[in-house]
Structures are given as structure tokens and as C-alpha cells.
Amino acid sequence: MWGRKTTYGIGVKMIFYSICILWALVTLIPYLIAVITSLKPVEDVTKFSIDFNKLTFDSYRYITHEFPFLRWLFNSFVVAVAVTAGNILFNSMAAYALARLDFPFKKVVFYVIIGTMMIPGQVLLIPIYLILNRLGWIDSYKGLIIPWLVSAFYIFFMRQYFLTIPKDLEEAALIDGLSRFGIFFKIFLPLSLPALATQAIFIFVGNWNSFMWPSIIASSEELYTLPVGLNSFYGQYYQFWNQVLAGAILLSLPTIIVFVLFQKYFVKGIVTSGLKE
């Protein structure tokens, strides 16, 4: 951008490329070492060298067969998918009401939604725990999922998107006899696929990686999500670095795949969410 049409001297170019390559190495080398170490037998884990004949998937086989890693993986998927589905539907519904419907206290509701974003979550942690405890939802999927089904930020985000959909489209549909719900499901949701995708990806990744809440709510091992399970596994088997790192790769891979497949939505999400009101 800055000086788009200038051709740079070779020296400047070399500095640019050096910085880019240096940071790429800083980023990638830890992953690379984690992958290679996870494939090594345990006696080789701290060796600098790689003996290609000894590389094996044994540690992956071991953690998924001897330890409940597959169960934790399953729990993570169930929770992340349920939370994502809930957010897509509920945030869009609220956003539609705010963008297109008329009702009393509309402004109040809007500012309340904005206001809730200002409160840091730790303040709410203890009372939410106590509420769930009274409901008997501790150590259950309900406790892991239900508190996170709605997000003020993405209601705001979807509202901004819905405001850009032309009103004429909606009026024509109303004249044709489509109900408000029909309009929402048949016109607004299909037209908002890019925004929905952005929202879905951020919520999925955020929930997949979330650690504090599941470590409070899931107390029995069968209910651990993968981050909680891996952390507790690390606590007991930290000398078996090949297995611990295999677990770390298993935990990282799904979100990395989602990111690489859908990266344009990530960038779009950050661009739209960071700015303008």
C-alpha cells in the first residue's frame, strides 16, 4: 500500500523478505517440532536429530486406545457444534427483530445488548456456576452448552449485516403473503450465508479452544472436552512427551483445518467486526 508503484532497491527487498521469512519460521517451527516429536519413540524425544526409521504413529494409537482421547474429541465436537448451531439461529433471530421489526423499547434492548459486551466474563463466572449447580447442570452437556448459546457481539454483527439487505425485497415478499418468519428463514438467512459462515467459524473455533469454563463444569473424565482432558493428561504423563504432543496435535488440527479451508471468512469477520457502527 505504502508506495505501491515504487520499485524497491534490492537491499530494502531483502530486509522485507528476511522479516517475513523469519517470522514464518518462528511461527512454524514449534508446530513442526511438535509433529516430529509426536512421531518419535519416547527415548528420543529430547534428541535434536531425527531417526526416520524410528518414526511411528504409536503415540497417537496409544492415546486414542488406552486413554479417552476419542471420547474427549467427541465431547468437544458435540459442544462446539451445538453452541455454533444455537448461536447461528438465536443471534440471527434477535438481529432480525432489531434490524427490521418495530416494537416497544427497541432502543433500550439494542443498548442493553451493546452494554453487556462491556462486562468482563470473570464477574459472572461464580454466580453462573451457582445457578447451574442449583439446576443440577454441573458435569453435564447442558452446563457446557446452554450458557453459551447466544452472543451479544454476534447479534450486533448480524444486525449490521441485515441492515444492508434491501427493504423492497421484504415488502414484495410481504405482499406475496409470506410471514415474517418465512421472510427470515427464506430470504434473510439464505442471503446472509457469508456473515453466518463468519460467525459460525469464529464461534466454533472459540468454543473448541475454550478451557476455563469446561474445566469448571466438567468434573468427571467422561465429560472432559479435549483441552481439559489434554491438560489433565499432561499433568500425569508429562514425561511421555511424544504422547502429550500427539494430544496437542490432535487438539490443534480441527481448528487449523477449519481455518485453512475458510480463511477468507476469518479476514472478513475481523474486518467487519473491528470497524464501523
Q: Which stretch of DSSP H or E encloses residue 155?
A: helix 152-163
Q: CA Rg, the chain, in Å? A: 24
Is 72 in contact with 230 (CB distance < 8 Å)?
yes
Report the distance separating Cα 127 and Cα 174, nearest Å.
Answer: 44
Report the distance separating Cα 8 and Cα 65, nearest Å.
Answer: 56
CB of 3 to another protein, least distance (A): 5
Question: Binding residue for another protein (CB under 8 A) from 42, 81, 85, 109?
Answer: 109
Q: Does 111 bind another protein (CB under 8 A)?
A: no
Question: Binding residue for another protein (CB under 8 A) from 120, 166, 177, 190?
Answer: 120
Q: Which stretch of DSSP H or E encloses residue 14?
A: helix 10-38
Q: Decide: residue 246, CB within 10 A, 0-12 exposed, 13-18 middle, 19+ buried.
A: buried
Closest C-alpha among 66, 64, 83, 81 to residue 250: 64
Q: Does 1 bind another protein (CB under 8 A)?
A: yes
Question: Binding residue for another protein (CB under 8 A) from 63, 155, 218, 223?
Answer: 155
- Closest CB to another protein among residues 55, 114: 114
CB of 193 to another protein, least distance (A): 19
Q: Does 259 bind another protein (CB under 8 A)?
A: yes
Place of cell 531417526: 51
Question: Which residue stretch of 15-23, 55-63, 77-85, 163-171 sits at the interface with another protein (rule: CB under 8 A)?
Answer: 15-23
Question: Binding residue for another protein (CB under 8 A) from 39, 63, 83, 93?
Answer: 93
- Closest CB to another protein among residues 25, 193: 25
CB of 21 to another protein, least distance (A): 9
- Closest CB to another protein among residues 4, 65: 4
CB of 114 to another protein, least distance (A): 12
Report the distance separating Cα 50 and Cα 106, nearest Å.
Answer: 64
Cell numbers found for residue 252: 490443534
Judged by DSSP in three states, 103 sits in coil
Q: Does 260 bind another protein (CB under 8 A)?
A: yes
- Closest CB to another protein among residues 86, 194: 86
